[in-house]
Amino acid sequence: MKGVPKKSKKGHQSILVVSLLLSFVAFLPCSILSAGEGDEGRDLFALQIEDLMGLKVATVYGASKFEQKVTEAPSAISIVTSEDIKRFGYRTLADILRNQRGFYITNDRNYQYVGVRGLSRPGDFNTRILLLVNGHRTNDNIYNQAMLGNGFVLDVDLIDRIEIIRGPGSSLYGSNAFFGTINVITKRGRDIGGTEVAASAGSWDTYSGRATFGQKFSNGLETLISATGYDSKGQNFHFTNPEFDTPENNDGWADHCDKEKAANFFARASFKNLSFESAYVSREKWVPTSAWGTMFNSGQDKTIDTRGYLNLAFNRTFENGLEVLARISYDFYQFDGYYLFADPPPSTMNRDRVLGNWWGSDVMLSRRLGARHLVVGGAEYERSTRQLQENYTRSPAYTYLHDNHGSEILGLYLQDEITLRDDLTLSAGLRYDHYTTFGSSTNPRLTLVYTPVPTMIIKALYGQAFRAPNVYELYYNDGNQYSKANPSLKPEKMSTYELVLEKYFRNGLHFTASAYYYKVRDIITQVTDADDLLVFRNMGDVTGKGLELEVEKTWPKDISLRVSQAFQYAKDDSTGTRAANSPASLSTLNLTLPLIGSKLYGGLDAQYVSRRHAPEGGCVPGYWLAKITLLAKDVVKNLDLSGAVYNLFDQTVKYPTSNEFRQRELIGDGISFRIKAQYRF
């Protein structure tokens, strides 16, 4: 459990063809118009892309821990803005990520999981992605899980922008920055400028409400305070498994077993060089799948995740150019699981309880040395005072697991961005981490950024990353009923090679291509041991390679189109076959355009995911999803209305499962809707 760890083809082709055609149609005329641009580019080398193209190039902070243009960053970057979130009706981080090139989402009706570059192993808890809020790590200290649904600490309405930084980031961030780092930047008080309230209603009796106050005062104090509530009755599901689809089991129907509730609170204040931030979320989700062998259709299986943190930061740039950032933080995480078993009769309620508390502090220094070096260095320390895991029943009273650990992590890193020539930059970074659980890990990153002309950028990247075994994998033991601990686990390690090409054209078109190869060693896998107990072990390697293409086009009057295509292959080296839940092809399409001036906008997005292998054999079919959104601004003064239809064509979406489930595949959401109102005063 998070707990007992028994943890139409024609339509698919059509969306892929449409995506590729749109890419070709958008790209071809621009290529012709830009012919010969390279020769004059060198004469204009001193000019920026903004000067040459009339474009505004986005900036990113999380790629190097200082603000820089995405064209200069040592990674393949995507930026999602608050306006994107509005216009495409995104409800959660999972909604946002499924629309990004090379990303896909799996849903087991309890949590949502992200796959990146062909790897999303069923049963894993989003441990190979690092999720930050304003630079603060949100992965917990028990499972190292990144929450993407309503368990994320932030309402997406409070997001100013999201930095999606692909590739290994352990040279700056340590563990979990494996396939990518996602840095969520929140809005500031000035962005709200008063009070804002929002309410939404949608399918399956789903309702939410939010109240936010934000302001920057004349004395320099800036504050933002927000609270959100969410409630959904969920869906009824029909499962065709022979053990479920019987008269005594309601003919396979799980009724009223998919409910979900959540509450969020976020506060941020800054004054001069000091800032304070607090976040809290509690999310309660009923589980309809009868996972872990629980009673079917009981309506009593549920999980509760509670996460929060306090963060105090000091940031100052001195007259000599030295920038100092110092932070201290306190984090907590709690998990409660309730599982009703029929054995022993009549029934037994099994409880999971997890408590995590940890303190963190870090200091970062950055300074430009001469004309050609920008150096960033820092130290981080984290001490977990409690990493408690329990599993027990109250009637009859019996404790299967009571395990409490403490641990410490020390990280030291140094990065130098060296301007070798006006058109060539080398970014070199190295980080050393020491864990009291397994020892040390050292991870470098090297990136060359070459700009042959101001409108073309070529990035060559090599990086290493690691994922530390988490407390759950190391120490979970339910009294040797089903599973046992393995405190000798080693970290997963990865080496990545990547080549990125970005090209900006004169008529508002931007083309990106990324080719990558990676090797994951000592991957942590849950297996059945010789004594028939489940245990986590370092089992073999995974090799991946792929190509990601994206074309983005903007026109006057706020029209934009983005199309991406990813081809990927992740191979389990121990079997020589494609990794489970690893699609070979991913496509996305995002279109937004004004329908009535600047008052009414329409948004259309679509994603295609090809078929994937299931862990127990066979394949889960591919699928495509489409969504349409309308956003009306200032319907009356300060009132915005929006509406969205999700899975517009009611496609059947299937997800492969892990060994926690008796179903080989689970069904995703069908067609649904949401309407929303937001008012500012």
Q: What is the SS3 string spanning 264-331? A: EEEEEEEECCEEEEEEEEEEEEECCCCHHHCCCCCCCCEEEEEEEEEEEEEEEECCCCCEEEEEEEEE
Q: What is the SS3 string spanning 83-133? A: HHHHHCCCCCHHHHHCCCCCEEEEECCCCEEEEECCECCCCCCCCCEEEEE
Q: Please tell me the total count of domains within the chain.
A: 1
> Which residue from 496, 519, 394, 494 is spatially nearest to 446, judged by alpha carbons?
496
In the DSSP assignment, the letter for residue 483 is B
> Which residue from 96, 198, 103 is spatially nearest to 148, judged by alpha carbons?
96
Please provide residue 547's backbone torsions phi and psi, each rounded to the nearest 5 degrees: -135, 130
456-467 and 136-137 strand pairing: unpaired
3-class state of residue 548 by DSSP: strand
In the DSSP assignment, the letter for residue 218 is T
Which pair of structure tokens corresponds to residue 374? 């920008």
Which range marks the domain in which residue 566 is found?
16-680
- C-alpha to C-alpha distance for 97 and 104, rounded to whole angstroms: 7
Q: Is the Cβ–Cβ distance between 503 and 455 less than 8 Å?
A: yes
What pLDDT was estimated at residue 574? 87
Q: Does a structural domain hold residue 2?
A: no
Q: Does a structural domain hold residue 371?
A: yes
Please provide residue 392's backbone torsions phi and psi, each rounded to the nearest 5 degrees: -160, 165
Q: Does a structural domain hold residue 4?
A: no
Give the CATH number for residue 376.
Answer: 2.40.170.20
Q: Does a structural domain hold residue 5?
A: no
For CA atoms 188, 193, 194, 196, the dihedral sign is negative
Q: Does a structural domain hold residue 9?
A: no
Q: Does a structural domain hold residue 578?
A: yes
pTM, two decimal places? 0.92
Element (H, E) at 191: helix 189-192
Q: Is the Cβ–Cβ distance between 49 and 140 less than 8 Å?
A: no
Element (H, E) at 11: helix 9-33
CA 262 to chain centre: 19
Q: Which residues contact 89 (CB under 8 A, 6 or more apart)?
A: 95, 603, 627, 629, 631, 642, 643, 644, 646, 674, 676
Q: Is the Cβ–Cβ distance between 560 and 550 less than 8 Å?
A: no
> Tokens 């996460």 map to which residue?
307
What pLDDT was estimated at residue 405? 94
Which residue numbers in the chain have pLDDT < 70?
A: 1-55, 344
> Tokens 């079997």 map to which residue?
575
> Which residue from 646, 660, 563 is spatially nearest to 616, judged by alpha carbons?
660
> Which residue from 316, 402, 406, 410 is spatially nearest to 361, judged by alpha carbons?
410
> Which residue from 289, 386, 393 is spatially nearest to 338, judged by alpha carbons?
393
Q: Does a structural domain hold residue 6?
A: no
Q: Does a structural domain hold residue 11?
A: no
- C-alpha to C-alpha distance for 194 and 32, rounded to whole angstroms: 49
What pLDDT was estimated at residue 55? 65
What pLDDT was estimated at residue 49? 65
> Tokens 């949608």 map to which residue?
202
What single string gives the DSSP state of each residue in 14-78? HHHHHHHHHHHHHHHHHHHHTTTHHHHHHHTTTS-HHHHH-----EESTTTTS-EETTTSSS-EE
302-317 and 274-286 strand pairing: antiparallel
